[in-house]
Amino acid sequence: MALVEARGLTKVFRRPDKAPGLKGALRQLVVRRFTEKVAVDHVDLAIDAGEAVAYVGPNGAGKSTTVKLLSGILVPTAGEVRVGGVEPHRDRIANAHRIGVLFGQRTQLWWDLPVADSLDVLRDMYGIDRATYTRRLKRFDEVLELGEILPSLGRRLSLGQRMRADLAAALIHGPEVVYLDEPTIGLDIAVKDRVRGFLRSLRDEGTTIMLTSHDLRDIEDVCRRLVIIDGGRIIFDGALTALKDEFARERILHVETAADVPLAAVQASLAGATVTAGDSPRRFSVRFNRFAMTAGQVVAALAGHAELVDFHVDEPSIEDVVRRVYSGELMAR
């Protein structure tokens, strides 16, 4: 059985309809009307121990809601969640010991306390013995450079410092499963790199990770499996490379020739591909499906028209693919 399992997971929020004005307010007191919004819609998900899963989707797709359902913060409207056999919202305390949660937008540090004290309160709460605690803290210090921020008050931290301290707070009890919601949001490149490195080492040690992020670099660096959610439904679940195979079939070959070539003739010789003119008569692009023909075949066909001075192949980045999935340009399943 998978470590984290969700079956038919659904969350519906009810929002009261607010009619404007005093009359609307009075009517609202008598007859309450609601609009239902399905945030997460029959999601099935299974994550094995030690897996690192990226969970992506456009804003409002239901990413955070899923994370909150999996961690037991929200109670599902329908369906069920089990983490290591435990239903998180029913058995919070047992669940809490196994999981670590980080919401990048929000800190769990105590505003008025030095970071060291916040961590020590958590140590007490999780019942971590001194030796283990010191060992973990030392490790976090090596990767996240906590030392300098431990004495600072929570409210005085910069965003980057806060995120590093929050990572430590989420992981101080050595959780089996870690949910990270936007752990690099608003950070500069240097801190982002450090956080990514830390997550990789965490993954290599066998911690199960579920990561949501808008920065796909985070995902490529840390995860091998990708789950895409849109409108509360999962529209892709598989290996990152499989995503490319499925959606990124298209290649574009950019060519520069030694002599002018009539594009119509080129098009005629390349059935199934699309030829478009470039910014000079000797430059043009060929768009083709890499499963229908190979780049070598395209080059060979072109060489029959004129000598090729230069060419390169564009492969869509994972970012392009995901962006096009969001925008509905690529229909999944």
Chain residues binding other proteins by CB under 8 A are 13, 16, 22, 25, 59-60, 63-64, 68, 71-75, 89, 92-93, 95-97, 99, 101, 103, 105-106, 108, 110-113, 117, 121-122, 124-127
CB closer to other proteins, 32 vs 138: 32
CA 213 to chain centre: 4
Write down the least CB distance from residue 105 to other proteins, Å.
Answer: 7
Write down the least CB distance from residue 154 to other proteins, Å.
Answer: 10
CB closer to other proteins, 9 vs 243: 9
Write down the least CB distance from residue 196 to other proteins, Å.
Answer: 22
Bridge partners for 53 per DSSP: 210, 225
**d(Cα 328, Cα 253) in Å, to the nearest integer?**
25
**d(Cα 132, Cα 155) in Å, to the nearest integer?**
27
State both tokens at 154. Answer: 């929570």
Write down the least CB distance from residue 68 to other proteins, Å.
Answer: 6
- The candidate with the shortest Cα–Cα distance to 69, out of 38, 111, 107, is 38
CB closer to other proteins, 37 vs 138: 37
Write down the least CB distance from residue 202 to other proteins, Å.
Answer: 18
State both tokens at 269. Answer: 């010789």
CB closer to other proteins, 181 vs 221: 181
**d(Cα 146, Cα 115) in Å, to the nearest integer?**
9
The pair phi, psi for residue 253, each rounded to 5°, is: -105, 120
CB closer to other proteins, 59 vs 280: 59
Bridge partners for 287 per DSSP: 252, 274
Asked whether 99 and 83 are in contact (CB, 8 A), the reply is yes
CB closer to other proteins, 121 vs 295: 121
Write down the least CB distance from residue 297 to other proteins, Å.
Answer: 47
Asked whether 245 and 318 are in contact (CB, 8 A), the reply is no
CB closer to other proteins, 86 vs 243: 86
**d(Cα 71, Cα 101) in Å, to the nearest integer?**
8
CB closer to other proteins, 112 vs 245: 112
- 149 three-state secondary structure: coil
| DSSP string for residues in 86-149 | B-TTTSHHHHHHHEEEEETTS--S-TTSBHHHHHHHHHHHHT--HHHHHHHHHHHHHHH--TTT
Write down the least CB distance from residue 195 to other proteins, Å.
Answer: 19
| DSSP string for residues in 194-229 | HHHHHHHHHHHTT-EEEEE-S-HHHHHHH-SEEEEE
Write down the least CB distance from residue 126 to other proteins, Å.
Answer: 6
